[in-house]
A and B are shown apart, each in its own frame.
Chain A
């Protein structure tokens, strides 16, 4: 069965430093998509970055990049130059290869940026 695992319940990072949030996944599908969402304390879900299983290059979006290691089934989120506004919960999610469109979410990682 498909599964997403985020092993870091909580992380701290100093402002302006980089931080890596871990995500491993398990699937037997050849075609799948990996997403990262940010959830600030206000509760909304904000899309950050996407990586397709057939994408050869790691995805980047501004200060966000995805370290995609397909053989290891990992899709870690790297946030560079952390800002206080990055303090939030971060979810890794996988879209199944079927047409249900379902996103399978990990447990989430709470990131706190220290000034």
Chain B
């Protein structure tokens, strides 16, 4: 089954304790992206990657890191999490050639992070 898998689905942690949210897709998609969702703000892009070893900042990259060492994986790293990073996070992927087409981005099921 074609899917984007995020782990963990839920995490409660404390300020300053490094954490990684994993994202893996099995559709051979070149493009991957991370969003955060906050009430009243919709979803905002954190980082994106057009292919292996190619990453770039989105609208709200502060406090986050990403890496793209393999095509299928795009982990989101919070080196020193703070309470304002409490949010619902989504990973998404698509074929690069579809960026201008009608093919939607495929979203993972979300990761709910609470930073105390």
Question: Closest residue of chain B to A96, judged by CB?
Answer: B99
The reply to whether B42 and A100 form a contact with Cβ atoms under 8 Å apart is no
Contact A100 B56 (CB under 8 A): yes
The answer to whether A45 and B107 touch (CB under 8 A), given A99-B99, A102-B33, is: yes
- A35 proximal to B (CB < 8 A): yes
A95–B99 touching, CB < 8 Å: yes
Q: Among residues 83 to 115 in chain A, which have CB atoms less than 8 Å away from a CB atom of chain B?
A: 91, 93, 95, 97, 99-103, 105-108
Number of interface residues of B (CB under 8 A): 31
Point out the residues of chain A lying under 8 angstroms from B102, CB to CB: 33, 50, 52
Complex CA gap A97/B92 in Å reads 18
Query: Cα distance A38–B12 when bound, in Å?
Result: 26
Is B81 an interface residue when CB atoms closer than 8 A count as contact? no
Query: A62 within 8 Å of B by Cβ?
Result: no
With A33-B100, A33-B102 in contact, is A103–B45 under 8 Å at CB? yes
How far is it, in angstroms, between the C-alpha of A93 and the C-alpha of B94 when the chains are bound?
Answer: 15
Complex CA distance for A111 and B58, rounded to whole angstroms: 29
Residues of chain B within 8 A (CB-CB) of A106 are 42
Say if the beta carbon of B65 comes within 8 Å of chain A: no
| B59 CB contacts on chain A under 8 angstroms | 102
- The reply to whether B42 and A101 form a contact with Cβ atoms under 8 Å apart is no
Q: Which of A42, A43, A52, A101 contacts B94 (CB 8 A)?
A: A101
Listed in ascending order, the chain B residues whose CB lies under 8 Å from chain A are 31, 33, 35, 40-45, 48, 50, 56, 58-59, 88, 90, 92, 94, 96, 99-102, 104-110, 112
The 6 A-B residue pairs whose C-beta atoms are closest, nearest first, are A105-B42, A45-B107, A47-B104, A105-B43, A101-B99, A50-B102
